[in-house]
């Protein structure tokens, strides 16, 4: 059974840092692309970042570029999101999601974790 | 960036109704369009990918259509468990944007 379990959320002051983790199991982690998606309280879904299966290709949403860093450790079956210079508008539930691609542009998120809440407030 | 716009933002319907939700992309995305369902406090669930392909295990009352810039998600006969929020997402570009969501409520 595919499982994605996020951790590392919590309360942080504006300007602070936090590192989220996503532990994967039930599939060959090193073969899959991974993503972070967030959802502010009462709001819609916002794609945050993407990392290829090898870690060689990375993309970020404009809203987090330069502040967030996605990474993965295939030996540990883990995905990470280092979040620096946090702002109130970064407050959200952060989900990790497995990406599946079926052609050069065709991708979807087929498994999601339960999410971890990040609150940025003084 | 490609912008995704869903309509309506909210919708009231009854069990047994046929419901259609629309998603429009700001530029052509071919058929690279996914639909997700999200219930309160839960992670999103993939329903449809590649505009019209039903994800394994999803009931056949869900269907998707469209290409280019205009897409629809149709639920042929609403069931009580279908009341949720629905999101479209494009995968054409590297920045995989979602629509703002459509909340489907019980009338």
Establish whether the linkage from the previous residue to B66 is cis, with ω within 30° of 0.
no
* Model pLDDT, residue A86: 98
Distance from CA of A113 to the nearest CA of B (A): 7
CB–CB of B36 and A110 under 8 A?
no
State how far the Cα of A56 lies from the Cα of B40, in Å rounded to an integer.
35
Q: What is the DSSP letter of B98?
A: B
The overall average pLDDT reported for chain B is: 97
CA distance, residue B40 to nearest chain A CA (Å): 10
Strand B53-54 with B62-67, pairing: unpaired
Q: Which two tokens stand for residue B45?
A: 């669930």
At residue B66, the 3 state secondary structure works out as strand
- Does pLDDT of B7 surpass 90? yes
Q: Give the model confidence (pLDDT) of A99-113 as tens digits.
A: 999 988 899 999 999
Which pLDDT belongs to residue A105? Answer: 86
**Regarding beta strands B4-7 and B19-25, do their DSSP bridges make them parallel or antiparallel, or are they unpaired?**
antiparallel
What integer is the mean pLDDT of B17-43? 98
Supply the pLDDT for residue B94: 92
Please tell me the distance from the alpha carbon of residue B90 to that of residue B19, in angstroms, as a whole number.
21
């Amino acid at each position: 059974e595919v499982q994605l379990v996020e951790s590392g959320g919590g309360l942080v002051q504006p300007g602070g840092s936090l590192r989220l983790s996503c532990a994967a199991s039930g599939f060959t982690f090193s073969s899959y692309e991974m993503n972070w998606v967030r959802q502010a309280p009462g709001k819609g879904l916002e794609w945050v970042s993407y990392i290829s299966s090898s870690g060689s290709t990375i993309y970020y949403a404009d809203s987090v570029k330069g502040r967030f860093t996605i990474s993965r450790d295939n030996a540990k079956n883990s995905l990470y999101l280092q979040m620096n210079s946090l702002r109130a508008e970064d407050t959200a539930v952060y989900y990790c999601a497995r990406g599946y691609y079926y052609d050069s542009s065709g991708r979807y998120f087929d498994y999601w974790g339960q999410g971890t809440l990040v609150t940025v407030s003084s | 960036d490609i912008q995704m716009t869903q309509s309506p933002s909210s919708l009231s319907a009854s069990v047994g109704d046929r419901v259609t939700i629309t998603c429009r992309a700001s530029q052509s995305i071919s058929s690279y369009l996914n639909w997700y369902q999200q219930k309160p406090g839960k992670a999103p669930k993939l329903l449809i990918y590649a505009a019209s392909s039903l994800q394994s295990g999803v009931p056949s009352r869900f269907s998707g259509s469209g290409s280019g810039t205009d897409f629809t998600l149709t639920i042929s006969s609403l069931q009580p468990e279908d009341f949720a929020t629905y999101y479209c997402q494009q995968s054409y570009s590297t920045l995989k944007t979602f629509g703002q969501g459509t909340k489907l409520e019980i009338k």
